[in-house]
Amino acid sequence: MATLHPSSPPLPSGERVGVRGAYHPEVSPRPRAGLEHTLRRVLGPDYRMGFLFVAPIVVLVLALVAYPFCYAVYLSLTRKYVGMPPVFVGLENYVRLTYDGFFQRAVINSFVFTFGSVAIKTVLGMGMALVLTSRIRFRSFWTGVLLIPWVAPTVVSALNFLWIYDYSLGVLNYLLVHVFGVLKQGVGWLSEPGTAMASVIGVNVWRGFPFFGISFLAGMKAIPGELYEAAAVDGATVLQRFRYVTLPGIRNIVMIVLLLSTIWTFNDFAIVYILTKGGPGGATMVLPVLTYEIAFGAQRLGEAIAVALYMLPALAFVIIVLSNYMRKGRVR
């Protein structure tokens, strides 16, 4: 983080630096014979404080992620109804889903929703970052304003758009029909199969593009100015500078943001659930909403979890690639 510059450390100055080799329990452990020495060698010099500090995270990760995850994998291999003991059925749930037309449609919808959203967010985010790096006044004010959708509660945003998209009294139809006169008659944005998916994508884009913008912006700021000057001296046009200086400079950040957003968007529940609940007629049914519907509407838990886990291999692949990128980004 280039943001932290501990300029003058509030420390007693080191007049005792000369005694570096002297005994200190933490810095240089006194070669003690016996158990403690062995423990330090095997478990690492800071093992006591390390284990103590990490213990709460280990407990939480085991209890809230690892165990539920394993339990989910097990349940997906069973026939399990709410309030009944699970019956092991092997891969039956997965096999049945594979040939289930409604599920197939939900998979396709999920991909359309995800890739549609991510593509538009990338374009808008790039636009936002470029505008914010150009010569403007009150840059941090503008940045702050454009980030608001990202901070606001998702459910509130989804409800706002539900109201905006309303067929008879929504402001979108009012604008298009009465103010701009583009349409003769209002559109049932969320109730017609032809527009429902696009409308839902619109809300996800509205909420998510600022994250793309702010991340790309951080990447662009990190590119040394000399590179642009050198390119300008060599006679590069604006487009060439973008293509050969900016893009390579933010390549890693773009990868991270794209993958991160792909995971988030693919698993976005709130927006679709609030706006359409997967309707009309399954036109916007995506996997997280289908999981919820099967689990708490139809009460078939095993099958619901199989829906949630069906894409696990793909998800695991994305997570591994992404976590490598993110760790690489941290190594300076």
Part of the chain binding other proteins (CB under 8 A), chosen from 4-12, 92-100, 181-189, 192-200: 4-12
Residues 289-308 binding other proteins (CB under 8 A) are 291-292, 295-296, 301, 304-305, 308
Query: How deeply is 255 buried, as exposed, middle or buried, from its count of CB atoms within 10 A (0-12, 13-18, 19+)?
Result: middle
The answer to whether residue 88 forms part of the interface with other proteins (CB under 8 A) is no
Torsions phi, psi for 81 (to 5 deg): -105, 155
3-state DSSP call for residue 60? helix
Q: Count of alpha carbons within 13 Å of 50, Cβ hemisphere only?
A: 7
Residue closer to other proteins by CB (options 109, 215) is: 215
Binding mask of the shown chain, residues 163 to 202, with x at each position contacting other proteins by CB under 8 A: xx-x--x-x--x---x------------------------
Please choose, from the candidates 145, 114, 103, 87, the residue with its C-alpha nearest in 3D space to the C-alpha of residue 265: 114
Please choose, from the candidates 197, 111, 202, 212, the residue with its C-alpha nearest in 3D space to the C-alpha of residue 161: 202
Part of the chain binding other proteins (CB under 8 A), chosen from 44-52, 89-97, 187-195, 241-249: 44-52
Judged by CB under 8 A, the number of residues near other proteins is: 122
Part of the chain binding other proteins (CB under 8 A), chosen from 6-14, 91-99, 101-109, 112-120: 6-14
Residue closer to other proteins by CB (options 93, 157) is: 157
Local structure of residue 165 (DSSP, 8 states): T
Length of the chain: 332
Q: Count of alpha carbons within 13 Å of 253, Cβ hemisphere only?
A: 22
Query: How deeply is 173 buried, as exposed, middle or buried, from its count of CB atoms within 10 A (0-12, 13-18, 19+)?
Result: buried
Residue closer to other proteins by CB (options 227, 255) is: 255
Residues 98-117 binding other proteins (CB under 8 A) are none
Options 81, 242, 244, 264; binder of other proteins; rule CB under 8 A: 264
* Shortest distance in whole angstroms from residue 270 CB to other proteins: 4
Please choose, from the candidates 71, 164, 85, 114, the residue with its C-alpha nearest in 3D space to the C-alpha of residue 272: 114
Options 57, 182, 233, 239; binder of other proteins; rule CB under 8 A: 57
Options 97, 126, 149, 231; binder of other proteins; rule CB under 8 A: 149
The answer to whether residue 212 forms part of the interface with other proteins (CB under 8 A) is no
Residue type (1 letter), 242: F
* Shortest distance in whole angstroms from residue 173 CB to other proteins: 10
Do residues 197 and 109 lie in contact, with contact meaning Cβ atoms separated by under 8 Å? yes
The answer to whether residue 50 forms part of the interface with other proteins (CB under 8 A) is yes
- Rounded to whole angstroms, the Cα distance separating 232 from 278 reads 51
* Shortest distance in whole angstroms from residue 236 CB to other proteins: 15
* Shortest distance in whole angstroms from residue 163 CB to other proteins: 6
The answer to whether residue 314 forms part of the interface with other proteins (CB under 8 A) is no
The answer to whether residue 46 forms part of the interface with other proteins (CB under 8 A) is yes
The answer to whether residue 208 forms part of the interface with other proteins (CB under 8 A) is no
Geometric angle at alpha carbon 192, from 102 and 209, rounded to 5°: 85
The answer to whether residue 6 forms part of the interface with other proteins (CB under 8 A) is yes
